[in-house]
Each structure stands twice: as structure tokens, then as C-alpha cells.
Amino acid sequence: MLEGKTAFVTGGSRGIGAAIVRKLAAAGAAVTFTYNSSPDAARAVAEAAGNGAQAVRLDLADADAVAAAVRGLPKLDILVNNAGTFELASVAEATLAAFDRMFAVNVRAVVAAVLEAAKIIPDGGRIITVGSINGEAVPFPGGAFYAGSKGAVRMLTKGWARDLGERGVTVNVVQPGPIDTDLNPADGPFGAVLTGMTALKRYGKPEDVAELVAFLAGPAGGNITGAALITDGGMTA
């Protein structure tokens, strides 16, 4: 369904990002994805995805580098802002440096990518950001900065949907709940508690998020824009 389309995915060497790369490539898209610190993992994802998938090294905390990477793409139909960073700190322990780190990757990099993408993406293109249900609610202490960054992305998405709507470019955010990745494994220290908070009593899989991203990227997602789509097993039900 994405034959002839080109996609750029940030943070594609593991977890949710790797699943998105594989899914988009399987649907026919030519995918370029970024990684930061693991060239071997990135190479393995590119080989597994096939269809000429390519990995490029990029520090998402460097907004100028992000903008240059998007600007340098020969063609772009689908932008997926997936990369993100997470750390917990209560208000008594939080620092401005931690705030800056979180917003540099989770917000500033997204803004840099979208501003450049808007210049080159054709009418009918797709812009998708992977946010979090913490953009809607904060069910645990210490998550203010992370939730703030994801809330910012959610509202930016709605604004950009208005800006680009007349061109038929859709802009959406996918908001996962607990997903079984190496950063937040189902058998990790928070696994039992988070599982218990879901209606389905299970963690999601990276593929659950990738399927939703691919749906939005394809023809069936053409009438969805400015939306925050939740895939959380009913955690926010």
C-alpha cells in the first residue's frame, strides 16, 4: 500500500522504531531511519527490513543536524518522529538541565524535522509522531517533564494539522501505553504494576504501534488528521 513512497523514521534501530521501519518497508516504502549509538543494531534492522532500507547516524539532540538531515532527503512522503528520551525526577530533584535534555529530543527535534519536512513533503503527505499516553495524563510521580514534552507534541500536532490541511497533508500523533521494549520491558520493575493498570491486562508490543503508524501512513488514513490515537490496552479507559 506504500509502493513508491519514501519514509524517514527517527530512532529506528530498536524497539518501536525498528518495528515501524520493518512495517513500512514491508508495505513497500523506501525507508531511511536514524540511529545514534548502535551501528550494528541499525545494520541488522536495515537488513531485516529489506526493500533498500538505509540507516543514518544522527544525534536527535542537535536540532540543526536534524533539520539538515531532513532537508537533504531527495524525496519525502512520510515523516515518522519516533525517537524519544525518558527519565523520572520529582519536582524536588528535577533540574533545568534535565528539562532541556528531555525537550531537546522529544520536542525540539520534532519541531526541527517538521519545519523542514513541510517544505518538501508533497500534497497528501503524512507526518506522524510517536508520543505517549503521558501526553494526556501522569499516573505516577516524577513524570512531569516527560509528560510535558509529550503534551507539547500532541498540541503541536493539532496546530500543524490546521496549517497543512489545505494541502492534504495529515499530521497525527500515536500515543502508546506500556510497550514491551528493552527500555520498559514487561518483565521489568514496573511491569506488573503497569500491566495491572490496563484493561487487557497485558503489555503492548512494538508491532501494535507500528501497525497504527502504517495505517495512518497509508490510503486508509487519508481522512484522519490532528488526531491523538491511543494504543494502550485500555490503560486510559
Q: From CA 149, how far away is CA 137, in angstroms rounded? A: 12
Give the 3-state secondary structure of residue 44: helix
146 classed as catalytic: yes
Catalytic residue among 146, 160, 203, 215: 146
Name the strand (E) or helix (H) holding 127. Answer: strand 126-130
Nearest to 135 by CA among 1, 60, 230, 51: 230
C-alpha dist (Å) from residue 7 to 25, 42, 60, 95, 201? 9, 16, 17, 36, 33
Q: Where are the alpha helices (DSSP H) in the chain?
A: 15-26, 39-49, 63-71, 96-103, 109-120, 144-164, 191-197, 206-217
- Integer-rounded Cα radius of gyration of the chain: 17
Amino acid at position 47, single letter? E
3-state helix, strand, coil in the chain (%, to 5): 45, 15, 40
Burial of 2 (0-12, 13-18, 19+ CB in 10 A): buried
The catalytic site residues sit at 146
